[in-house]
Structure 1
Amino acid sequence: MITIVPVETKKQLAAFIDLPHDLYANDPNYVPELFLGQQDLLTPNKHPFYKHSSAQAFLAYKENRLVGRILAIWNTNHNAFNNVSEGQFGFFESINDQDVANKLLETAAAWVREKGGSNIVGPINLTTNDTCGLLVDGFDRPPMAMMPYNPPYYINLIKNAGFNDKVDLRAYWVTTETASRRSVMLLDRLEDRLKRSGITLRQINLKDFDNEAKKIKTIYNKAWDKNLGFVPMTDEEFHHTAKDLKMIVDAKYCIVAEKDGELIGFALGVPNINEVLIKIKRGRLLPFGIFKLLFGLKKIKTVRVLMLGVLEGYRKLGIEACLYGRIIKNAIPSGIIAAECSWMLDHNYMMNHAIEQINADLYKRYRLYDKAL
Structure 2
Amino acid sequence: MSEIKIKKVESKKDLMEFIKLPWKIYKNDPYWVPPLIYDKKKILDKKKNPFFEHADMDMFLAEKNGELVGRIAAIKNDLHNQYHNDKVGFFGFFECINDQQVANKLFDTAKEWLKSKGLNAMRGPANPSSNDEYGMLIEGFDDEPRLLMPYNPRYYLDLCENYGFKKAKDLYAYKIEYNKIITSEKLKRVAELARERSKIKITQLDMKNFKNELEKVKYVYNKAWAPNWGFVPMTEKEIDALAKDLKPLVEPSLVLFGEIDNKLVGFSLVMLDYNQIFKSMNGKLFPFGFIKLFTQRKKITWARILTLGIIPEYQKRGLDAVFYWEIVERASKLGIHLGEASWILEDNDMMNRGAQVMNAELYKKYRIYEIPI
TM-score over 0.5 for the pair: yes
Instruction: Look up the match of 1:69.
Output: 71
Instruction: Look up the match of 1:242.
Output: 243
Within 5 Å, give how 1:338-349 maps onto structure 2.
Answer: 338-349=338-349
Counterpart of 2:110 (choices 89, 108, 117) is 108
Count residues in correspondence.
Answer: 371
Q: Is 1:122 aligned to 2:132, yes or no?
A: no
Instruction: Look up the match of 1:51.
Output: 53
Instruction: Look up the match of 1:13.
Output: 15
Which amino acid is 2:121 matched to? N
Q: Residue 247 of structure 1 aligns to a residue in which SS?
A: helix
Within 5 Å, give how 1:160-309 maps onto structure 2.
Answer: 160-183=162-185, 186-187=188-189, 190-191=191-192, 193-281=194-282, 283-309=283-309
Deviations, residues 88-139 of structure 1 (Å, cap 9, x unaligned):
0000000000000000011001000011001010000011000100000000
Deviations, residues 260-318 of structure 1 (Å, cap 9, x unaligned):
1111111110000000011112x012233233333222321110001111111111111
Give distance in 2, aligned partners of 1:45 and 1:287. Answer: 25
Contact 1:267 1:324 in 2 (8 A): no
Which amino acid is 1:168 matched to? D
**CA deviation after TM superposition for structure 1 residue 184, in Å:** 8.3
Give distance in 2, aligned partners of 1:227 and 1:183. Answer: 29
Q: Residue 154 of structure 1 aligns to a residue in which SS?
A: helix
Give distance in 2, aligned partners of 1:10 and 1:280. Answer: 23
**CA deviation after TM superposition for structure 1 residue 205, in Å:** 1.6
Contact 1:184 1:325 in 2 (8 A): no
**CA deviation after TM superposition for structure 1 residue 333, in Å:** 1.7
Q: Residue 296 of structure 2 aligns to a residue in which SS?
A: helix
**CA deviation after TM superposition for structure 1 residue 193, in Å:** 4.2
Give distance in 2, aligned partners of 1:305 and 1:11. Answer: 36
Task: Provide the aligned C-alpha RMSD in A.
Answer: 1.3
Are residues 184 and 10 of structure 1, via their aligned partners in 2, closer, same or farther at CA, if it must alter by over 3 Å?
farther
Q: Is 1:313 aligned to 2:302, yes or no?
A: no
Which amino acid is 1:229 matched to? G
Q: Which runs of 5+ in 1 are unaligned?
A: none
Instruction: Look up the match of 1:80.
Output: 82
Deviates more, 1:20-29 or 1:287-296: 287-296
Which amino acid is 1:156 matched to? D
Contact 2:195 2:322 in 1 (8 A): no
Counterpart of 1:134 (choices 127, 136, 150) is 136
**CA deviation after TM superposition for structure 1 residue 175, in Å:** 1.1
Contact 1:191 1:322 in 2 (8 A): yes
Give distance in 2, aligned partners of 1:355 and 1:322. Answer: 13
Instruction: Look up the match of 1:42.
Output: 44
Q: Residue 109 of structure 1 aligns to a residue in which SS?
A: helix
**CA deviation after TM superposition for structure 1 residue 52, in Å:** 1.7
Identity of aligned residues (%): 43
Give distance in 2, aligned partners of 1:17 and 1:234. Answer: 26
Deviations, residues 148-173 of structure 1 (Å, cap 9, x unaligned):
00000000000111111100000000
Deviations, residues 42-100 of structure 1 (Å, cap 9, x unaligned):
01111001112110010000001100000100000110011011100000000000000
Are residues 191 and 249 of structure 1, via their aligned partners in 2, closer, same or farther at CA, if it must alter by over 3 Å?
farther
Which amino acid is 2:234 matched to? M
**CA deviation after TM superposition for structure 1 residue 183, in Å:** 4.2
Give distance in 1, aligned partners of 2:195 and 2:182. Answer: 20
Give distance in 2, aligned partners of 1:220 and 1:289. Answer: 31
Instruction: Look up the match of 1:154.
Output: 156
Instruction: Look up the match of 1:364.
Output: 364
Q: Residue 45 of structure 1 aligns to a residue in which SS?
A: coil
Deviations, residues 3-55 of structure 1 (Å, cap 9, x unaligned):
00000111111111111011101111000111111111101111001112110
Deviates more, 1:293-302 or 1:258-267: 293-302
**CA deviation after TM superposition for structure 1 residue 226, in Å:** 1.3
Which amino acid is 2:161 matched to? K
Instruction: Look up the match of 1:352.
Output: 352
Q: Residue 81 of structure 1 aligns to a residue in which SS?
A: helix
Give distance in 2, aligned partners of 1:21 and 1:347. Answer: 35
